[in-house]
């Protein structure tokens, strides 16, 4: 039986990888290739597509032993020694390879399928991370299963399915976890590395008005991501509500990328503005023994320049500090764009409300999915931690879930 997750994943992979997949498949089935030489690049026609390769690039990526250490996957060649006007003296296609002879006699050989996979044209068509963007209805209909603690801790398949969910939707649950800080730490470390911050490695939150942040109060918190005041905001947020004897306190989740894509469709110039102009966020706190003071500056919407795919939404209206990074004639435009994005983020149909209860641990992609909280009365203890993004993605690559 296939879970909804697998159906969802198959659909997305089909959609998003169709082009690149065909590209590579065609490349392999059609062994013949032609090329044209131009001033500083050649065009390779292979598998029905034209790919452009610059000559310096072709010399720089040479996989011969003297140029590249294939044991360590590191370059041996000193790129600064390549003549920037370099051109191959001889070029041919032989046995599924492009063969280039450089001035001085060095020979570079690339398999055509390697070139097809590593071309800019393929990269541009391939999303870095296939995702299912959601509003409440889309997510609820998907019936995404939660991982089960026992299985999760011992079975790689359970961990893999969990990571697939996490990558596609930007959050995922593990259920049946003992309601302790130690078990929360263990379940996190089963995934990957904890990122220690000024809040501690593992933290435990109980309404505490001595701390200098509203997170430690019983007040409602509007949708936001955490640590916008770091140049690299924390990648993953882990929450476990280990004690709940309170009214209210539900958790709000909003897919920031879904909302931002609505903005991109309705108002591309405002999307572009928010991705171009940088704004600062700040955290300042006196702890009694020392002062924590962090400032991070960057655009609200962050997209990869080669394919415009979004990878980070730096949105936290409480922690956004003085805007002195935008010239006056663009400030009004920035506020207009921010308002439009906020309207999308606040649409009731985009809000997913969940109740975190003891045993249920949530992992949230803090670069994509925003969280918030309803106000509460009574005792509510939340523990958790942050995780390093790169290590979680590395784990996913290990399972073949990500290129």
Ligand X SMILES: O=C(O)CCC(=O)C(=O)O
Tell me whether residue 122 or residue 301 sits nearer to ligand M3L (CB atom): 301
- When CB distances are held under 5 to 8 angstroms depending on the partner's kind, the choice from ligand M3L, ligand X, none that residue 393 binds is none
What is the rounded distance in angstroms from the CA atom of residue 125 to the CA atom of residue 20? Answer: 6
What is the rounded distance in angstroms from the CA atom of residue 59 to the CA atom of residue 89? Answer: 12
Nearest distance from C-beta of residue 319 to ligand M3L, angstroms: 5
Backbone angles phi, psi at 129, to 5 degrees: -135, 110
Residues 298-357 touching ligand M3L, rule: CB under 6 A, are 316, 319
Residues 183-222 touching ligand X, rule: CB under 6 A, are 215, 221
205 in contact with ligand M3L (CB under 6 A): yes
Residues 6 or more apart whose CB falls under 8 angstroms from that of 16 comprise: 126, 127, 130
Distances (CA, A) of 198 to 1, 240, 285, 288, 317: 45, 19, 10, 14, 21
Tell me whether residue 162 or residue 230 sits nearer to ligand M3L (CB atom): 230
What is the rounded distance in angstroms from the CA atom of residue 377 to the CA atom of residue 5? Answer: 36
Nearest partner of 173 among 161, 181, 189, judged by Cα:
161
**DSSP readout, 81-95?**
GS-TT---SEEEEET
Single out the residue of 46, 139, 199, 334 in contact with ligand M3L (rule: CB under 6 A): 199
Single out the residue of 226, 255, 344, 365 in contact with ligand X (rule: CB under 6 A): 226
Task: Show the site string, 206-225: x = touches ligand M3L by CB under 6 A, - = not.
Answer: -------x-x--------x-
Number of neighbours of residue 183 by Cβ within 10 angstroms: 19
365 in contact with ligand X (CB under 6 A): no
The tokens of 179 are what?
Answer: 């309601």
167 in contact with ligand X (CB under 6 A): no
Tell me whether residue 87 or residue 224 sits nearer to ligand M3L (CB atom): 224
The tokens of 346 are what?
Answer: 């606040």
Is 341 exposed, middle or buried (CB count within 10 Å of its CB: 0-12, 13-18, 19+)? buried
Nearest distance from C-beta of residue 276 to ligand M3L, angstroms: 24
226 in contact with ligand M3L (CB under 6 A): yes
Single out the residue of 108, 227, 251, 350 in contact with ligand M3L (rule: CB under 6 A): 227
49 in contact with ligand M3L (CB under 6 A): no
How many chain residues are in contact with ligand M3L, going by CB under 6 A? 10
Tell me whether residue 224 or residue 380 sits nearer to ligand M3L (CB atom): 224
Beta-carbon-side half-sphere exposure of residue 137 (alpha carbons within 13 Å):
3
Element (DSSP H or E) covering residue 207: none
Positions that interact with ligand X (CB under 6 A): 215, 221, 226, 251, 371, 373, 382
Positions that interact with ligand M3L (CB under 6 A): 199, 203, 205, 213, 215, 224, 226-227, 316, 319
């Amino acid at each position: 039986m296939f879970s909804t997750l697998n159906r969802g994943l198959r659909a997305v992979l089909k959609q998003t990888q169709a082009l690149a997949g065909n590209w590579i498949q065609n490349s392999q089935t059609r062994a013949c290739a032609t090329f044209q030489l131009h001033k500083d690049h050649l065009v390779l026609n292979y598998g029905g597509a034209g790919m452009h390769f610059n000559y310096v690039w072709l010399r720089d990526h040479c996989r011969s032993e003297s140029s590249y250490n294939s044991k360590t996957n590191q370059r041996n060649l000193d790129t600064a020694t390549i003549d920037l006007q370099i051109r191959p003296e001889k070029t041919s296609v032989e046995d599924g390879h492009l063969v280039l002879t450089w001035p001085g006699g060095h020979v570079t050989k690339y398999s055509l399928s390697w070139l097809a996979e590593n071309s800019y044209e393929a990269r541009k068509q391939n999303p870095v991370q296939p995702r299912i963007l959601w509003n409440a209805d889309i997510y609820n209909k998907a019936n995404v299963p939660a991982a089960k603690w026992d299985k999760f801790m011992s079975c790689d398949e359970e961990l893999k399915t969990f990571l697939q969910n996490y990558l596609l939707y930007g959050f995922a649950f593990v259920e049946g976890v003992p309601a302790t800080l130690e078990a929360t730490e263990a379940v996190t470390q089963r995934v990957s590395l904890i990122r220690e911050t000024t809040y501690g490695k593992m933290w435990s939150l109980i309404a505490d008005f001595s701390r200098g942040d509203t997170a430690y109060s019983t007040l409602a918190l509007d949708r936001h991501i955490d640590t916008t005041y770091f140049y690299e905001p924390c990648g993953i947020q882990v929450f476990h509500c280990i004690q709940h004897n309170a009214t209210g306190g539900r958790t709000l989740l909003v897919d920031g990328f879904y909302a931002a894509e609505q903005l991109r469709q309705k108002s591309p110039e405002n999307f572009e503005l928010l991705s171009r102009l940088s704004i600062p966020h700040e955290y300042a706190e006196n702890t009694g023994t020392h002062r924590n003071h962090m400032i991070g500056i960057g655009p609200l919407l962050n997209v990869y320049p080669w394919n415009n795919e979004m990878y980070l939404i730096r949105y936290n209206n409480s922690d956004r500090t003085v805007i002195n990074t935008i010239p006056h004639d663009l400030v009004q435009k920035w506020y207009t764009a921010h308002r439009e994005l906020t309207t999308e983020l606040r649409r009731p149909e985009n809000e997913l409300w969940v109740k975190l209860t003891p045993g249920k641990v949530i992992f949230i992609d803090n670069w994509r999915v925003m969280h918030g909280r309803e106000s509460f009365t009574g005792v509510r203890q939340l523990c958790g931690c942050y995780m390093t993004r790169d290590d979680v993605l590395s784990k996913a690559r290990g399972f073949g879930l990500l290129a």
